[in-house]
Amino acid sequence: MEIIPAIDIIDGKCVRLTQGDYAQKTIYNENPLEVAKAFEAAGIKRLHLVDLDGAKAGTVQNWKVLQTIAANTSLVIDFGGGIKQEKDLAIVFESGAAYATIGSLAVKSPTIFVEWILAYGADKFLLGADVKDRKIAVAGWLETTELNIMDFLGDYLSKGVEQVFCTDVSKDGKLEGPSLELYQEILETYPEAYFIASGGVSSMEDLYALKALGCSGAIVGKAIYEGRITLEELKTFF
């Protein structure tokens, strides 16, 4: 199972929100490149980079952070937040992202996303599914839809998307453990998916539990920044 640390960006700084609430923001580092280099030095291969300003504005904002990390590390980066138009998508790929993370657009403008899949290849995208009570949440978790998580994932997996991650918004940033039951159901229903767990990881025990379920990857954020999981501990996981 891949460990994929998250760096969330507001105003070019590394931050974390609690349950997607922009009012509950903690700044962890003024320099995201320092954080990325520390991850790389610990043996991490991949990075989940989230442009929270972009998610709120509806257009990519912090692409220079992506560009800097891509140019100065060998991390495989997926980048999301504000990718609503093809010009945003182009900026993300030109700035060094291996994958574009698509969430809200896949819900609200499925025709556009399918066009991108056909134009760029399904393997260039990471589908993000944010969930509240099994329903898809969009717009930086500010809005909940009536779309069921299982139907949403099934639709795009059938269109060739391979990598998906699911975040239970009720768990995110609270360090209370991941949604193991939900993830188990997803894995049993869609065993072919490269499924990445996200949200709630609070300890190495959580990571071992996700690995035992059969998750392909796990996104870890606050637990690292709060010292619940150390980079030294992560080295033992690989």
Catalytic residues: 8, 130
Are 141 and 19 within 8 A, CB to CB?
yes
Closest to 220 measured CA to CA, from 230, 212, 60? 230
Burial string for 192-213 (b: 16+ CB within 10 Å, else e) reads ebbbbbbbbbbebebbebbbeb
In the structure encoding, which two tokens stand for residue 137, read together? 């949440």
**Burial of 74 from C-beta contacts in 10 A (0-12 / 13-18 / 19+):** exposed
User: What gap in Å lies between CA 205 and CA 160, rounded to an integer?
Assistant: 33
